[in-house]
Chain A
Amino acid sequence: MSHERNADIELRLLIEAIYLKYSYDFRDYSGASVKRRVAHALRQFELKTISALQERVLHDPSAFMQLLQFLTIPVSEMFRDPSHFLAIRQEVVPLLKTYPSLKIWIAGCSTGEEVYSMAILLREEGLLERAIIYATDINPSSLEKAKQGIFSMDSIPGYNTNYLKAGGKRQFSDYYTAAYDYAIFDKTLRENVTFADHSLATDSVFSETQLISCRNVLIYFNKKLQDRAFGLFHDSLCHRGFLVLGSKETLDFSGYKDQFEPLVKQERIYRKS
């Protein structure tokens, strides 16, 4: 008899079924996190076993879209890790200013917090008008939210603090209109933003870019999938292009370590070498 637990067998089968049926590939995601997400989904669906969940999502595409909301992790904030954005302003922006036009890719943009943060920073540095931003994610609901640019008013005080620490030059309130419990962000911030469905696990490079921001996405991947993503970033970036990662993400354990050099290591800002 196999020593593998039933739940582990069922989980592998579910992930395989999702891939075969819907082409969403979670096979190389970090297992511990996926397992928790699925356990959480089981409770929400009020199902007892992962096998029952598999049956449901195989036969009902809308149930799969519901499950996808649990499998992706929409935890984000604007100007998350303010010192990271400050370092982009101080160390990267002066170099970006030398380009006549800019293409920027926010990979795994979730509900858009990273997109609006980057757009605000670029506007204050006079770069937004000559930039095209590609904001991509695998979750269509998240992309739709990102496009709306409407965030809960409850999160604004925290974002405001971050914005100021990140070297913000104006009032954060200049960028949104408060309406009841929501902050509606200035739509001119996303005039040059293209929101698109793109998977780092299954899709390929779509454009040459000067800067790629992929923050707190790679931690959910195993090493193999991380390397696939780094490969895409390497292929997409122009000569000496910039790659910025989340505060605990690193190229150090990757096969692409030598293809990039740290520009501000502490802030996870790298440059293609």
Chain B
Amino acid sequence: MRTSFTGIDPNQPALPVVDAIVVGASAGGVEALLTIFRRLPRGFGLPILTVLHLPDERRSHLAEVFRSHLAIPVKEADDKETIAPGTLYFAAPGYHLSVESDFSLSLSQEERVFHSRPSVDILFESAADAYDARLAGVLLTGANNDGARGMARIKEFGGLTVVQDPAQALARTMPEAALALHTPDFLLPLPDIGLLLVELERIAC
């Protein structure tokens, strides 16, 4: 497990090639996501799928809020939409978001997971199924246990896992629950996670 990332280091093992990044966050997540995604330059080529727990209000303004702060295209995920490169998708409130085997997105209203819909586990597990090893999972601040199982699944299928250092997270329960289930490839502070995503994109695209 590496605990810092400041750029490519020839003494460290090479980063894998991934086709997509999935991100999960809960309490304190808006600021954490902004810190990371602000690092992503215009023309960033990897798709990013994000679940952020929010109160169950039917119309969310997440996509609009992030769009105004970021250089990459941002949208709320639609049912049956094909995943486009370089786009940041947010799961809609009240619906689980899944990746299908043909790399399209699907929504569902199955039971809540850890009181949450959308659930990080559901996104991560379905994405691991679809992308196999070519997936990076990032789990950030949060006050419940959602996402831990999904991270373990990504790792089990050979993907790359990144957990925010709980010591620096606004709410440490979510990253700690992930650490209890598996040892991630990276345990990082937010600025390093941003850099890592930039580097993963450079390798992949």
Residues of A at the B interface (CB closer than 8 Å) are: 30-33, 35-37, 73, 75, 81, 83, 216, 218-220, 222-223, 226, 247-250, 252-253
Asked if A75 contacts B98 (CB within 8 A), the reply is no
A86 to B60, CA, bound (A): 19
By a CB distance below 8 angstroms, the chain B residues around A37 are 110
Asked if B122 contacts A219 (CB within 8 A), the reply is no
- Chain B contact residues: helix, strand, loop or mixed: loop
Residue of A31, A33, A81, A216 touching B101 (CB-CB under 8 A): A31
By a CB distance below 8 angstroms, the chain A residues around B108 are 30, 32-33, 73, 219-220
Asked if A250 contacts B79 (CB within 8 A), the reply is yes
- Distance from A77 Cβ to chain B, minimum over Cβ atoms (Å): 10
Residue of B78, B95, B129 touching A32 (CB-CB under 8 A): B129
Asked if B92 contacts A248 (CB within 8 A), the reply is yes
A73 to B122, CA, bound (A): 15
Specify which of A32, A73, A75, A216 lies most central, judged by the most chain B CB atoms within 10 Å of its CB: A32
Asked if B100 contacts A30 (CB within 8 A), the reply is yes
- Please give 17 more A-B residue pairs, beta carbons under 8 A apart, in addition to A73-B108, A83-B58, A219-B95: A30-B106, A31-B100, A32-B126, A33-B108, A35-B129, A36-B110, A36-B122, A37-B110, A73-B110, A75-B110, A218-B79, A219-B107, A219-B109, A223-B104, A248-B95, A250-B79, A253-B78
Can you name 23 A-B pairs with beta carbons within 8 Å?
A30-B98, A30-B100, A30-B108, A31-B100, A32-B98, A32-B99, A32-B100, A33-B98, A33-B108, A33-B110, A35-B129, A36-B126, A75-B109, A75-B110, A81-B58, A218-B79, A219-B109, A222-B80, A247-B94, A248-B95, A249-B79, A250-B79, A253-B81
By a CB distance below 8 angstroms, the chain B residues around A30 are 98, 100, 106, 108
**Is B185 among interface residues, defined by CB-CB distance under 8 A?**
no
By a CB distance below 8 angstroms, the chain B residues around A216 are 109
Q: How many residues of B contact A (CB 8 A)?
A: 24
A222 to B81, CA, bound (A): 11
Interface string of B84-124 (1 = CB under 8 A from A): 00000000101100111100101111110000000000100
- Distance from A229 Cβ to chain B, minimum over Cβ atoms (Å): 13
Asked if A73 contacts B109 (CB within 8 A), the reply is yes
Known interface pairs A30-B108, A32-B126, A220-B108; A248-B100 also in contact (CB < 8 Å)? no
Residue of B nearest to A39 (CB): B125
A81 to B95, CA, bound (A): 13
- Distance from B194 Cβ to chain A, minimum over Cβ atoms (Å): 29
Asked if A253 contacts B80 (CB within 8 A), the reply is yes
By a CB distance below 8 angstroms, the chain B residues around A220 are 108
A269 to B106, CA, bound (A): 21
Residue of A75, A81, A83, A248 touching B107 (CB-CB under 8 A): A248
By a CB distance below 8 angstroms, the chain A residues around B104 are 223
A158 to B125, CA, bound (A): 31
